[in-house]
Each structure stands twice: as C-alpha cells, then as structure tokens.
C-alpha cells in the first residue's frame, strides 16, 4: 500500500509541476519555440495547456534549447516550392 501511495504522490507532483510550467509556457514560451504561435489568442493557449502540462519535460528542453519544430516535408510542399517530389 505504501508503494501505491508513493506512486500517486509522484504523479501528483508531476502534474502540479506540469500545470505551473504550462501556465508559464503558454504565456511566453510557446512563441519562443514555434513562431506560428505568435499572435494567437487565449483560446488556442487554453486548448494546448493540458498537452503542455502532460509533456512538460520535452517542451522545457525545447524551450531551453530554442528548438524550432521540424518543418513537414511532403510532395505537395515540394511541388509548391518549384521542386520535384
């Protein structure tokens, strides 16, 4: 029973840290790692908050490193840029 209590406590800590990080990230950090998010409203930021809280370690690393998301590459985009697929 003690093991389960410890596990539940650790999960609670993870999500509390995630929510605190998420609030900071959706107000300032999302623009730093994804320029497409610049100028988005609070509706968008509220939608992404649960995912940010869940994946906060990954997003924290990206925020520290200022990593931009990889641009999707497919035949349509290649052709639109004048190249061949």
Q: pLDDT for 35-82, tens place per residue?
A: 888 888 899 999 999 999 999 999 999 999 887 777 777 888 788 887
Sign of the dihedral defined by the CA atoms of residues 31, 62, 68, 49, in that order: negative
Q: What is the pLDDT of residue 81?
A: 80
Query: How many CB atoms neighbour CB 6 within 10 A?
Result: 10
Q: Give me the pLDDT at residue 85, please.
A: 53
- Residue 85 CA to residue 69 CA, distance in Å, equals 22
What would the two tokens of residue 83 be? 């190249």
Q: Which has more confidence, 16 or 37?
A: 16
CB-based contacts of 84, cutoff 8 Å, min separation 6: 78
Q: For position 79, what pLDDT does the model report?
A: 82
């Amino acid at each position: 029973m003690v093991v389960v209590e410890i596990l539940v406590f650790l999960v609670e800590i993870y999500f509390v840290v995630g929510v605190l990080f998420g609030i900071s990230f959706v107000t300032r950090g999302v623009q730093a790692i994804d320029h497409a998010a610049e100028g988005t409203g609070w509706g968008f930021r509220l939608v992404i908050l649960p995912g940010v809280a869940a994946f906060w370690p990954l997003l924290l690393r990206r925020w520290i490193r200022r990593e931009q998301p990889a641009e999707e590459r497919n035949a349509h985009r290649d052709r639109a840029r004048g190249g061949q697929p």
